[in-house]
Amino acid sequence: MTPISNARVLFSAVPKETTVYDISQTIDLESVALNGGFLIKTLVLSIDPYMRGRMTSPDVKSYSVPFALGAPIVGYGVGVVLRSDHRDVAKGKYVYGRIIPHQEYSVLPNLEGLIFLEKDPHLNWTVYVGAAGMPGKKAYMGWKEFSQAKKGEVAFITTGAGTMMIQLAKRDGLKVIASAGSEEKVEFVKEIGADVAFNYKTTDTREILAREGPIDIYWDNVGGDVLDAALEHAAIYGRFLECGMISDLNNIYAKSLTMHGIMVMRLQPKYDTEFYVTIPRALAAGEIKYSEEVSRGLGTVGHAILRVQEGTNTAKAVVVVADE
């Protein structure tokens, strides 16, 4: 067969201008060497915010591997298998994954990073990189694993990847506050079930949250000042699900971190008995050591407070007011 054009998208520069469309390469679909792998035709490609993180100079430390300049970028996509030397991969199968090269045809060495998909006849393949792909999974799995959603609670969802989240929250019986960046999106968000929807470009987020909150669950794609506003209007024991890439919370996301606020008054009902059975005995026995900065007399309180507030105390500050 005559070689045909095999167009590619190559990483050409750090943003803003990031790719060039290159049609100089050709490929012979019948004879291209598979070397134990398989040949796919790319059907759809997903464009996602996380790709920005891979468009860095190799010198910059990043939690994802940088794209190689001059090579095709890779991302989530769906391809159909045209030929295969791989025993687990049959011609006509559809593969999905995050390692699909941005070129028309690719030879892939193995199934690493890929799964097989079967298409629902009522859906396009585009849906399998969106609502039925990585963004949908993030919403579905993040909600299932971490939301601890209870009927009647209030969720605040910043849109973008939030479309599915809004509907999952409504299915679980929550009140949903959603923010969007245009009147058109506000309307869409209301259509799919948001109880309160507002345009964050023309409406004060804090005002909405003060009136409609406090927030039990915050699904954060944004970070920054909106996160601050959500923190201000959070409910006791609120859950903050952090997915923002464009914020200083990158590490909370990248490392799947969990942050807990520790308020002893809310833990005491559960642990007080165990604490007093365990700890004073261990302290008295010297099994756990402690240190104190003791001053004597109620008149020393002012000075002790100053030391604590300046951080110049060297141990737990205590004032002995009286002997018995």
Touching its own copies, residues 129-188 (CB under 8 A): 129-132, 134-138, 140-142, 144-146, 161, 163-164, 167-168, 181-182, 184-185, 188
Alpha-carbon gap, residue 231 to 266, rounded angstroms: 19
Q: Which tokens is 317 given?
A: 């500050």
Which positions from 241 to 260 touch its own copies by CB under 8 A, shown as an x/- string?
A: xxx-----x-xxxxxxxxxx
Nearest-approach distance from CB 119 to its own copies, in angstroms: 8
Q: Which is nearer to its own copies, 140 or 199 (CB)?
A: 140
The CB density around residue 156, as the number of other CB atoms within 10 Å, is: 31
Q: Which stretch binds its own copies (CB under 8 A): 26-34, 83-91, 205-213, 280-288?
A: 280-288
Q: Which is nearer to its own copies, 129 or 155 (CB)?
A: 129
Q: Which tokens is 23 given?
A: 């049609």
State yes or no: residue 18 binds its own copies (CB under 8 A). yes
State yes or no: residue 322 binds its own copies (CB under 8 A). yes
Q: Which stretch binds its own copies (CB under 8 A): 83-91, 194-202, 205-213, 314-322?
A: 314-322
The CB density around residue 81, as the number of other CB atoms within 10 Å, is: 19
Yes or no: say if 241 and 249 are a contact pair by the CB < 8 Å rule.
no
State yes or no: residue 24 binds its own copies (CB under 8 A). no
Q: Which is nearer to its own copies, 32 or 317 (CB)?
A: 317
Nearest-approach distance from CB 198 to its own copies, in angstroms: 17
DSSP-assigned letters across all residues of 151-173: TT-EEEEESSTTHHHHHHHHHTT
> How many residues can be counted in the chain?
324
Nearest-approach distance from CB 301 to its own copies, in angstroms: 5
Yes or no: say if 300 and 321 are a contact pair by the CB < 8 Å rule.
no
Alpha-carbon gap, residue 11 to 5, rounded angstroms: 19
Contacts of 71 (CB under 8 A, 6+ apart): 10, 11
Cα dihedral angle (188, 189, 193, 197), rounded to 10 degrees? Answer: -130
Q: Which is nearer to its own copies, 26 or 271 (CB)?
A: 271
State yes or no: residue 225 binds its own copies (CB under 8 A). no
Among 2, 24, 59, 122, binds its own copies (CB under 8 A): 122
Cα dihedral angle (109, 113, 115, 120), rounded to 10 degrees? Answer: -120
Ramachandran sector of residue 136 (left: φ over 0; alpha: ψ -120 to 50; beta: rest): alpha
Nearest-approach distance from CB 299 to its own copies, in angstroms: 5
Among 3, 4, 21, 31, binds its own copies (CB under 8 A): 21
State yes or no: residue 277 binds its own copies (CB under 8 A). no
Q: Which is nearer to its own copies, 27 or 35 (CB)?
A: 27
Alpha-carbon gap, residue 234 to 25, rounded angstroms: 54
Among 26, 68, 203, 275, binds its own copies (CB under 8 A): 275
Nearest-approach distance from CB 19 to its own copies, in angstroms: 4
State yes or no: residue 65 binds its own copies (CB under 8 A). no
Nearest-approach distance from CB 60 to its own copies, in angstroms: 14
State yes or no: residue 306 binds its own copies (CB under 8 A). yes
Alpha-carbon gap, residue 38 to 89, rounded angstroms: 7
How many chain residues bind its own copies (CB under 8 A)? 134
